Chain A
Amino acid sequence: MSDLLRSPLKPLYEEARTFVGYRHIWVYLSNQDLKSRFRRSKLGVLWLVMQQLAFTFGAGFIWATVFGQDPGEFIPFLAIGFSLWAIIAGSMVDGCSTFVVSHGYIKQIPLPQSIFIFRTVLTQIYLMLIGVATAIGVLIAFGKLTPTSVLYAIPGLLIIVGYSYGAIGVVAYLGLRFRDLQHGLTGIFNLLFVVTPVIYPAEILAQKGLHFAVYLNPFASLIDVVRTPLLRGTLADPLSYSISFGCVFLLITFRFVFAARWRRFVPFWS
């Protein structure tokens, strides 16, 4: 045990202790984030559901025609892709302000910085769950949901949670130091939304000989590991699992590297 604590695993052990020991704080903060986002709005969280449904059906019918797809196939496909993209882009973009918005606490109270990362991750997970539940509702409405599909999607959803944690952990430090990052990432993810097979099937790229655009883009794999199980009721391509798992591993590694290097500066920079 004492060897374990001296090893490179020590930060992981500390992280787990913070996760459990301070769970009341970060869960509470995250709940408050969600509440204050919809404070004094009558429909509250329903807005998220309605926005997503409006987009899915509105864009779904048009794009089904443009891409020459069957709307009955395409709309469920789009519903899932859109809900996953929200957490993939949201983690990177909103993650930049993790420490920035918490500066009042960071300068006044000694708390592990990971708390603020957990808080942002949980908020993103809430949003993802609302989105995925809406998408599953669309699937049911179109009679596309098989009993096994949700089960097979669970590994993929866990990978996405890991991605969200790693991504937010990285951009929390980077976004605090480089305040331009959030603006830059907003633009980059607008572009990636079009480049990544979110709104069109990856097969279309493959048919045009652009396989590399799918395999070089880890976000395509991150979407695939949830979307394929939900739509087909089978596990996704092993390559997708490998790519997305590698991406998560890299992000989490960098999260700890940045924390070790920049932890000390966070109260000054925020």
Chain B
Amino acid sequence: MNIAIELSDVCVDYPLDVSDAYSLKKALFDRFVSNNTEAASHYRALNGITLQIRQGERVGIIGLNGAGKSTLLRVMCGIFEPSQGVAKSYGKISPLLDFATGLELHHTGIENIKIRLLFLGETIDTIEKKIPEIAAFAELGDFLHQPARTYSTGMFMRLAFAISTSIEPEILIADEVVGAGDAQFADKAKMRLDRLLSKGKTTVLSSHSMELIRLFCDRALWLENGRIRMDGEVEEVIAAYESNAHSLMQGVS
């Protein structure tokens, strides 16, 4: 069986309070003053994650906010290097993370399409072919040749969404994808997203929507405080996750 993504004993530490801990002043003073009363300088976002994802698998990642879902996806993409352990991937990875950031406000719609797709690993030729389709989907009309700063919020989101979902992924890694725009557009967006999620040979997807996970995944991973709490068949994991959430709710009230 071919492996697509392999993590062994991966830990990720976030350096804390960058601006203070790493100022030049502090670095210089620390040379002379050696009081090691430093508070915790790292936050461990992932702790000892070991897992294999085979080619063709569709893995859904669930867990509360702050459980480490986004961090895990970024490690799989290769954006974060693990502080300990090894992360390997075999195949071309297409990330679908925070798609709204990274659009350049003073670039035109066309320029943003080109630059974004270049970054996602497309070639100039395939990009040219995709531009009409993306433009039509985003419903930009003549605004395609205007700088993005002149766009309404809806246009901006539609363009970002259309670009990010126009890729042909080998391994798709998607973080909390939601539709964009008004109700009419939301339907279009959902169809497009459905198509994309079923296109990827291998898919890893994080979501708070159990419905989405049930629909697209054949394996689920429950993250809690940076560790894998449960890994297995979708219905089992969701059932355990929900009953846990339920008992937590009862504990509160």
A105-B119, A269-B18 in contact; A24/B79 too (CB < 8 A)? no
Residues B101 and A104 in contact, CB atoms below 8 Å apart: yes
Residues B114 and A28 in contact, CB atoms below 8 Å apart: yes
Residues A108 and B97 in contact, CB atoms below 8 Å apart: yes
Residues A110 and B77 in contact, CB atoms below 8 Å apart: yes
Minimum CB–CB distance for B118 against chain A, Å: 5
Minimum CB–CB distance for B129 against chain A, Å: 16
Residues A109 and B120 in contact, CB atoms below 8 Å apart: yes
Residues B18 and A32 in contact, CB atoms below 8 Å apart: no
Residues A263 and B95 in contact, CB atoms below 8 Å apart: no
A29 at the interface (CB under 8 A from B): yes
Minimum CB–CB distance for B175 against chain A, Å: 10
User: Bound complex: CA of A267 vs CA of B27, how far in Å?
Assistant: 20
Q: Which one of B22, B80, B95, B115 contacts A178 once the chains associate, using CB atoms below 8 Å?
A: B22
A264 at the interface (CB under 8 A from B): yes
User: Bound complex: CA of A83 vs CA of B247, how far in Å?
Assistant: 70
Residue of A nearest to B124 (CB): A24
**How many residues of chain B are within 8 Å of chain A by beta carbon?**
33
Q: Which chain B positions have C-beta within 8 A of A111?
A: 119
User: Bound complex: CA of A63 vs CA of B24, how far in Å?
Assistant: 38
Q: Which chain A positions have C-beta within 8 A of B81?
A: 263-264
Q: Which chain B positions have C-beta within 8 A of A105?
A: 102, 119
A179 at the interface (CB under 8 A from B): yes
B57 at the interface (CB under 8 A from A): no
Residue of A nearest to B15 (CB): A268
B30 at the interface (CB under 8 A from A): no
Counting chain A residues whose Cβ lies within 8 A of the other chain, the interface size class is 20 to 34
* B53-80, CB < 8 A from A: 74, 77-80
Residues A107 and B107 in contact, CB atoms below 8 Å apart: no
Residues A110 and B115 in contact, CB atoms below 8 Å apart: no
Residues A265 and B15 in contact, CB atoms below 8 Å apart: yes
* A161-192, CB < 8 A from B: 177-181, 184
B218 at the interface (CB under 8 A from A): no
Minimum CB–CB distance for A27 against chain B, Å: 10
Minimum CB–CB distance for B22 against chain A, Å: 5
Q: Which chain A positions have C-beta within 8 A of B15?
A: 265, 268-269
**Which of A32, A184, A263 gathers most chain B CB within 10 Å?**
A32
Q: Which chain B positions have C-beta within 8 A of A29?
A: 115
Q: Using an 8 Å CB-CB cutoff, how does the interface string of B23-41 with A read, 1 for contact, 0 for none?
A: 1110100000000000000
Residues A28 and B118 in contact, CB atoms below 8 Å apart: yes
Residue of A nearest to B22 (CB): A177
Residues A109 and B107 in contact, CB atoms below 8 Å apart: no
Q: Which chain A positions have C-beta within 8 A of B23?
A: 178-180
Residues B115 and A108 in contact, CB atoms below 8 Å apart: no
Residues B78 and A110 in contact, CB atoms below 8 Å apart: yes
A39 at the interface (CB under 8 A from B): yes
A148 at the interface (CB under 8 A from B): no
A28-B114, A109-B119 in contact; A268/B14 too (CB < 8 A)? yes
Residues B78 and A179 in contact, CB atoms below 8 Å apart: no
Q: Which one of B102, B106, B119 contacts A39 once the chains associate, using CB atoms below 8 Å?
A: B106
B126 at the interface (CB under 8 A from A): no
Q: Using an 8 Å CB-CB cutoff, how does the interface string of B95-124 with A read, 1 for contact, 0 for none?
A: 101100110101100010011001110011
Q: Which chain A positions have C-beta within 8 A of B74?
A: 107, 267
B83 at the interface (CB under 8 A from A): yes
B223 at the interface (CB under 8 A from A): no
Q: Using an 8 Å CB-CB cutoff, how does the interface string of A29-61 with B read, 1 for contact, 0 for none?
A: 100100010010000000000000000000000
A250 at the interface (CB under 8 A from B): no
Residues B107 and A32 in contact, CB atoms below 8 Å apart: yes
Minimum CB–CB distance for A219 against chain B, Å: 22
A–B complex contacts, Cβ < 8 Å, 22 sampled: A24-B123, A29-B115, A32-B104, A32-B111, A32-B115, A107-B98, A107-B101, A108-B79, A108-B98, A108-B101, A109-B119, A110-B77, A111-B119, A178-B23, A178-B24, A179-B23, A267-B74, A267-B80, A268-B14, A268-B18, A269-B18, A269-B22
